[in-house]
Structure 1
Amino acid sequence: MVHIHDTHVLMVSLFYHGHINPMVRYAKLLTSRGIHVTIATTNHARDQILNGLAKQSDFIDFEFFDDGLDAELDREKNLGILLEEYLPRDGVKNLSNLIYALEGKEETLVHSMMQFKPILPIGPLVSPYMLNVGEALEGEEENDLCLDWLDKQGASSVIYIALGSISIMSQSETEALAMALESDSNRRFLWVRKEGENGWGGKTGELPKGFLENTKDRGLIVPWCRQDKVLMHPAIKCFLTHCGWNSTLETISAGVPVIAYPDWTDQPTNAKLLVDVFKVGVRMKKIKDGELGRDEIERCIVEVTTGQRALAMKEQATKWKVAAKKATSSGGSSNMNIENFINAIRGKFV
């Protein structure tokens, strides 16, 4: 691989996986075209990156800096303070992790946004494995509990549940979801569930007594999984998601229908995109007291898995999967925008 050393790109990111992972994926696209890339993030992520991503990312340099906050501050439990410190700043040109070739849906949005700031859509920045252009990430353990379990399940039989690294379910919401899963002996599920508190001090609800025992033959609960591999597995029927942007792109790329349960920031907008625009799922709605009820969860599960619109949702999801792959293929919109960006920073933009 030939590298053009006079072209050096610096990328700066928060230390959270949801920020760093797509940035590393984009950095790999640039380095594969001869660009020298350095990714900078805070010292908080030093060990995590040096022991993980850095070993999987040849030709990418990593630098670390002080975030300027109190050294004693627990950054995992004080996300609000971090967000206030690192509000987005204007840049000369934005590279957007969007898909430009989705039948004009994103195109209309991008053109409206370009009135305020130039944008080059380059998405989806997902694992190459999801686009069938590369193997899974290096360093993956040979034995994977989730994938081994999914291999034993029937095709399109498993509800995959994951609400990201920040969003949590309250005690009543946890109980409602558990009861909805337990109520039908044919419901198989893979639930990514983290114990403890999130970045706002909220605490994850506890599972009802007897739930694990009653569902042990058809459910698996884990603290983490390889989401790209899980979503691409033929056993997955649908994805109950918080609609974070990375999860949104991954479910589109995998062609999996969704049960949307957004929480904050961009998630409600992403949920509307998936449900009302792309028509690949349904959205769960909270009841009057702001909590999620069992009946609502069951309604959404039925609608996406066996309801009258279930087949249409799957067909739509498959269509967007094809569009996502097309955008990143040779001659596709995202692929061409990456080339335009490289030419621009080298002074060759035409």
Structure 2
Amino acid sequence: MHQFYHGKLTNRVTEFPVSSQGLPTLEHQDLPHFGSNIPYHFAYVAEQFSNVDQADYVLVNTFYELEKEVVDEFSKHLPVLTVGPTIPTFYLDRRVVDDKEYGIISADNDPSTCLNWLNNKPARTATTTSFGLSNLLRLKSCQKIFKDEASDKGLVVPWTPQLEVLSSEAVGCIFSHCGWNSTLEALSLGVPIVAMPQFADQQPHAKFIQDVWKVGIRVKHDKNGLATKEEIGRCIKEVMEGETGKEIKENAMKVSNLAKAAVSEGGSSDTSLDYFISKITSSS
């Protein structure tokens, strides 16, 4: 988006693949997608780069070892500091006592329902998914299906503490739309990803998940642009049980270890934060 804003790329790309400094070659499906209101959303998102070059520092919720090429290239244009993953330290280096939650808890939903359900499942046999069922009727319909037909095979709840779910021994992968928060949480906890991006930055995230980090598989769409249940099932089965899944699991654990090292004392993100704080405090 930075390159789009500064005229190095056009928002009407017609020739593929697209080459961009610091990024892998991108096909049409890998570019950010903004739905039916493309011009409006495109302009809105790109506008954030209108004066970013005036910033003293740009703090990014990632870690250097995950995106070296991107960070190195972007640092030529902006004062980038990688400070992530910004998730509670309980799931990383545990340096902060009792830092287990973001501080956002749904008072109307009891997390014990899903956590107890997972506790009764064998290790690495469950798939978790969260695409946001905002429509109450759809939620109740899904709940009825599992209650009536497959209560032991599936559970639908309106809200879950995702970090606790991802850290469960029962969870073998996450079926995700690839929002950055969910992606970074899965990467940090070593959970493989079945990617089905929907909107905005989720498409390039899915590209990195499958082709760069190799920690997951991207769902393919049919000629009508639809992701069929058969294709989704194929991807989940491949990650959970297939030969490709073995490599994906190994890569996911490697990335998790890199994430923990980055935020640990002396790690890349820890060093960036120390540097930022020292500069801010000395200037004041």
Q: Report the TM range for the smaller structure's normalisation.
A: 0.7 to 0.9
Q: What TM-score results when the alignment is normalised by the length of structure 1?
A: 0.61
Of residues 269, 278, 283, the one that matches 1:343 is 278
- Structure 1 residue 263 displacement after superposition: 1.0
> In the alignment, residue 164 of structure 2 is paired with which amino acid?
K
Q: Which has the bigger relative contact order, CA under 8 A and spacing at least 6?
A: 2
Shift of 1:220: 0.8
Which amino acid is the alignment partner of residue 135 of structure 2? E
Aligned to 1:268: 203
Structure 1: stretches of 5+ with no match in the other structure:
1-79, 166-192, 198-202
- When the two structures are superposed, what TM-score results if normalisation uses the length of structure 2? 0.74
* AA partner of residue 96 (structure 1): V
Change (3 A) 1:264 1:339: same
Amino acid at match of 1:152: N
Q: Residue 88 in 1 paired to residue 28 in 2?
A: no
Question: Residues of 1 paired with 2:183 and 2:226: CA distance?
Answer: 23
The answer for the alignment partner of 1:293 in structure 2 is 228
Q: How many pairs are equivalent?
A: 234
RMSD: 2.9
Q: List, as ranges, runs of 4+ consecutive aligned residues in structure 1 with deviation greater than 3 Å.
A: 80-87, 138-143, 203-212
Deviation at 1:305, TM superposition (A): 0.8
Equivalent pairs: percent with the same residue? 34
Matched AA of 2:227:
L
Higher share of residues assigned helix: 2
Question: Are 2:121 and 1:153 aligned?
Answer: yes
Gaps of at least 5 residues in structure 2 are 1-38
Distance 2:148 2:157 in 1: 15
> Partner amino acid for 2:78?
K
Deviating more after overlay: 136-145 vs 244-253: 136-145
Give 1:122 deviation, angstroms: 0.5
Measure the CA separation in 2 of the matches of 1:139 and 1:264: 24
**1:195 aligned partner:** 135
Q: Is the contact made by 1:238 and 1:259 (CA closer than 8 Å) also made in structure 2?
A: yes
Structure 1: distance between partners of 2:142 and 2:269: 43
Determine if the alignment matches structure 1 residue 101 to structure 2 residue 83: no
Where 2:155 maps in the other structure, the secondary structure is strand
- How far is 1:117 from its partner? 1.2
Asked if structure 2 preserves the Cα contact closer than 8 Å seen for 1:98 and 1:123, the reply is yes
- For residues 298-348 of structure 1, the C-alpha deviation after alignment (integer angstroms, 9 at most, x for no partner) is 210111011111111111101111000000000000000001111122237
Which residues of 2 match residues 78-227 of structure 1 at below 5 A? 87-88=47-48, 90-91=51-52, 92=55, 93-102=57-66, 106-133=67-94, 134-135=97-98, 136-137=100-101, 144-163=112-131, 165=132, 193-195=133-135, 207=142, 210-227=145-162
